[in-house]
Amino acid sequence: MSSTTMVLNQAQIQRSPRHTATIYLKEAKYEFLKNLRLRMYTASVLSFPIMFYVLFGLVLNAKEAINGTHVPTYLIATYGTFGVMGASLFGTAAGLASDRGLGWLQVKRASPMPPFAYFAAKVITSMIFSAVIVVALFTLGIALGGVRMPAVEFATLLGTLVAGSLPFSAMGLALGYFTGPNSAPATINLIYLPMSFCSGLWVPFMFLPKVVRQIALVLPPYHLSQLALGIVGAGRHESASTHWEVLLAFTMICLGVARIGFQRDQGKMYG
Amino acid sequence: MIATIEQPQQANSAGSGLIVASLEGVNKNYGSVRALRAVNFRVRAGEVVALLGPNGAGKTTAVKLLLGLMQPNAGRVQIFGADPTNPENRMRTGAMLQVGRVPETLRVREHIDLFSSYYKKPMSCAEILFTAGLEKLRDRKFGDLSGGQKQRVLFALAICGDPDLLFLDEPTVGLDVEARRMLWDEIRKMVERGKTVLLTTHYLQEADALADRVAVINQGEIIAEGTPSEIKAKTAGKRIRCITSLSLNTLRQISGVSEIKEDREAIELHVGEAEPVVRELLARDAKLSGLEITSAGLEEAFLALTQDTASGANHSN
């Protein structure tokens, strides 16, 4: 019996692929519903980028151009990045820190839930909210700011920004493992807001002080926003593959940190 | 019951069944705090066992070890004859743990739908709602529920996989009497379905109401084990209160008196049997007045039992 036991210890629960898919789907569906109904999440994550866009892109500077790019179009790329970053960081870090710190994750771990489903649900939900923000900015831009863009360009921009949710979700998972349930939102803001500013998401990059522009080069939102700006023809003409590589490396580092946190938690529980 | 390859077994009648959960010589430390010390504890198929003890006694630690959420520093923990971290075991167990915050924006039926999806043969949603007494609350958001209702939802999540073995960690802590009794009824419904239940509580009354067997735990050690009536017998007794001119020394000499307390103008005696002591008191002090005899409260008696073994101050509620 003991040898069978040893084998089973390492094994995953045998489920049909259909059953596994159902679990992942439900986990993601309820994670999405949970956040959608959480006013604190939707209010801060959805309304800030949209409000900024309306104010600075549609009300104040709608007729202006930045380096030859129509402001309402330019700002879809930058506030889009800002929104994606917020949705992803808050969507993963805040929930994970609270679930870990207040015992809910233990209830889930005591059940036969596949652990990966829990993380996947958070990442998928962040991507959905990211897409909602970008589409909302677009809709406003087209309706009120005279934004015009070929469908392919729009699809590329949307796809890029939504894919850009991944590095920040990874960062959120890492943060969620190293912050407490009460300190998580403040910690996120402490990273999110300065990073956004330094990456040129609020003030266009070329208007930033030189020191800040230097710092920006190592910040992931800078690279995502440059990819997005490149699509609307307003980038700094750096190589897109470099931007992707930086984002990929950043994602891997964050996942590595999250993994240390995950194992530390297991260690506390399994050690 | 979900059959497993390694150990096909059937639920037996209380006490005689196979061992489904065990701690053998288990030590668990949190830093320098020794949460469990050389604990031996077994749960057999079909029985309802209560782990009774004050806060901080090690009850929750024992449950978390049995759920594979922690590893012991020494000793062996087994569930269904295998390691508790065995994922297949989690198909056959359900757990109601103490949780600080449950996602509040999801509805009762949504929580149940999600947890049910984890299991291969879950109970139907209607059955879960009925068993947990949540039929009328199915569309409510978790955050809008009362304390007792929230506990019933956590209970529902514990039973939705129709588990063979159910862990209930302090299921009624913080609930008022009515809510507690309601949850007891829900727990009894699961017991009637032949489930094995391990329940932790710091209410002797709760252990008495639900369990076939009680293990009393204090400061990480199991200090008494038996049926609820055996435990009560160990802790039972009467309290005699009266106003008397007899000195404390004289009172101490009366056989059967275990404890003497002065309470304002009166004295209070803890005794095994009241009648012989009262006879003696009246014989020695004809002017004795204000005589009252009461049963020692269960909670109080339990406290006495745990304090017997307490070397340091360990106050609990």
Out of B82, B83, B91, name the one closest to residue A112 (CB). Answer: B91
A107–B99 CB contact, under 8 Å: yes
A43 touches chain B (CB under 8 A): no
What is the pLDDT, as a whole number, of residue B95?
A: 94
Q: In B, which residues are within 8 Å of A10 by CB distance?
A: none
Out of B5, B71, B85, name the one closest to residue A9 (CB). Answer: B85
B71 touches chain A (CB under 8 A): yes
Q: Which pLDDT tens digit goes with each residue over A206-254?
A: 888 999 989 998 999 999 999 999 998 887 778 889 999 999 999 999 9
B81–A109 CB contact, under 8 Å: no
| Residue A18 included in any domain | no
Per domain, the residue ranges of chain B are: 19-233, 237-295
Q: Which pLDDT tens digit goes with each residue over B285-294?
A: 888 889 988 7
A7 touches chain B (CB under 8 A): no
Q: Total domain count for chain A? A: 1
DSSP track, B14-72: TTTS-EEEEEEEEEEEETTEEEEEEEEEEEETT-EEEEE--TTSSHHHHHHHHTTSS--
CA atoms within 13 A on the CB side of A17: 0
Q: What count of other Cβ atoms lies within 10 Å of the Cβ of residue B245?
A: 10
| Residue A34 included in any domain | yes
Average confidence (pLDDT) over B206-212? 89
Q: Alpha carbon B88 to chain centroid distance?
A: 27
pLDDT level of residue A40 (50, 70, 90 thresholds): confident
E-strand stretches of chain B: 19-30, 33-44, 48-52, 74-79, 93-96, 165-169, 196-201, 213-218, 221-226, 238-243, 257-263, 266-271, 289-295
* Alpha-carbon span A21 to B50, nearest angstrom: 38
User: CA of A29: how far to CAs of A23, A32, A129, B179, in Å?
Assistant: 10, 5, 12, 32
Q: Which residue has the tokens 């947890």?
A: B115
ipTM score assigned to the predicted complex: 0.87
| Residue A197 included in any domain | yes
- CATH 3.40.50.300 is the classification of domain B19-233: yes
What is the pLDDT, as a whole number, of residue B298?
A: 53
Q: Which pLDDT tens digit goes with each residue over B168-190?
A: 999 998 788 888 888 898 888 88
Q: Which pLDDT tens digit goes with each residue over A14-28?
A: 888 999 999 999 999
What is the pLDDT, as a whole number, of residue A186?
A: 92
The number of C-beta contacts closer than 8 angstroms across A and B is: 109
User: CA of B230: how far to CAs of B200, B223, B225, B227, B258, in Å?
Assistant: 18, 13, 8, 5, 19
> Are B10 and B37 a contacting pair, CB within 8 Å?
no
Q: Kindly give, in sequence order, each residue whose CB lies less than 8 Å from that of residue A43, ignoring residues fewer than 6 positions away.
A: none
| Residue A4 included in any domain | no
* Alpha-carbon span B232 to B305, nearest angstrom: 10
| Residue A121 included in any domain | yes
What is the pLDDT, as a whole number, of residue A270?
A: 41
A271–B71 CB contact, under 8 Å: yes
Q: Which pLDDT tens digit goes with each residue over B50-98?
A: 999 888 888 999 999 999 888 899 999 999 988 988 888 899 999 999 9
The minimum CA-CA distance between A270 and chain B, rounded to whole Å, is 5
Range of the domain at A232: 23-270
- Best of B114, B116, B125, B160 to mutate (most A CBs within 10 Å, chain A): B114
Out of A9, A22, A27, name the one closest to residue B83 (CB). Answer: A9
Out of A30, A103, A112, name the one closest to residue B97 (CB). Answer: A103
What is the pLDDT, as a whole number, of residue A82?
A: 96
| Long-range CB contacts (within 8 A, 24+) of A31-35 | A31/A95, A31/A121, A31/A122, A31/A124, A31/A125, A32/A121, A32/A124, A32/A125, A32/A128, A33/B105, A33/B106, A33/B110, A34/A95, A34/B103, A34/B105, A34/B106, A35/A91, A35/A95, A35/A125, A35/A129
Strand partners, B196: B165
Q: Which residue of B has its CA nearest to A8?
A: B86
At the topology level, CATH places domain B237-295 in Alpha-Beta Plaits (3.30.70)
Q: Give yes or no for residue A62 having a pLDDT over 90.
A: no
